Amino acid sequence: MLPSREYTEGKDDSVRDVIRVFLVDHSPIFIEAFAFLCREEPGVTLVGFSEEGRNALPEILRAKPDVVFVDAQLPSVNSLHLVRAIKEACATTTVIVLSLFASPELSGRAIASGASAFLVKGSFEEILATLHRLSPEHNHGPSPHSTRDSRGKI
């Protein structure tokens, strides 16, 4: 079951010491796991998600996230075009591309499109570490009270 939009969009927008995250991914299972990850990580809140890449940009603009995670293999839109559109509309927003597979070629194209990082979905620990590293104004580190094991698995 996907997280409720009321939960993800109902957070207090006045709290600025929290890293605001938006996810664009077509997999309900990954969205659910990612939402759990955000709920369990202090200093991180999921402010929205989109299962459809072609509808994502207006939702991102409405949610005003600090960081947007974009699935590299969206079925409805070219993910790298979406990355470019996000960066054109919100230059200060950090964009991170996620993929099921490591691909130096795709990674290079993602970075050239404006992404700050390209990560493989398998390691939630790496996702969190990169999220915190690329949000220097928040100066958060991964929580020592994490519910993940040392391999980043929930």
Tens-digit pLDDT profile for residues 88-135? 999 999 999 999 999 999 999 999 999 999 999 988 899 999 999 987
Helix pair angle (56-63, 79-89), 10° resolution: 30
Q: Do 89 and 113 meet the contact criterion of CB atoms below 8 Å apart? A: no
Per DSSP, which regions of the chain are E strands?
A: 19-24, 44-50, 67-71, 94-99, 117-120
Which CA distances in Å does 89 have to 83, 105, 145?
10, 25, 36
Residue type, 52: E
In whole angstroms, give the CA distance from residue 115 to residue 98.
Answer: 10
- Could you tell me the CATH superfamily of domain 25-133? Response regulator (3.40.50.2300)
pLDDT reading at 141 higher than 60 = no
For the beta carbon of residue 80, count every other beta carbon within 10 angstroms: 19
pLDDT reading at 84 higher than 80 = yes
In whole angstroms, give the CA distance from residue 136 to residue 88.
Answer: 21
Cα 150–chain centre separation? 21
pLDDT of residue 82: 97
Q: Mean pLDDT across the stretch 48-52?
A: 95
Q: Do 78 and 32 meet the contact criterion of CB atoms below 8 Å apart? A: no
In whole angstroms, give the CA distance from residue 110 to residue 5.
Answer: 28
Relative to beta strand 44-50, strand 67-71 is: unpaired
Half-sphere exposure for 119 (CA within 13 Å, toward CB):
20
pLDDT of residue 76: 86
pLDDT reading at 11 higher than 50 = no
Per DSSP, which regions of 57-136 are E strands?
A: 67-71, 94-99, 117-120
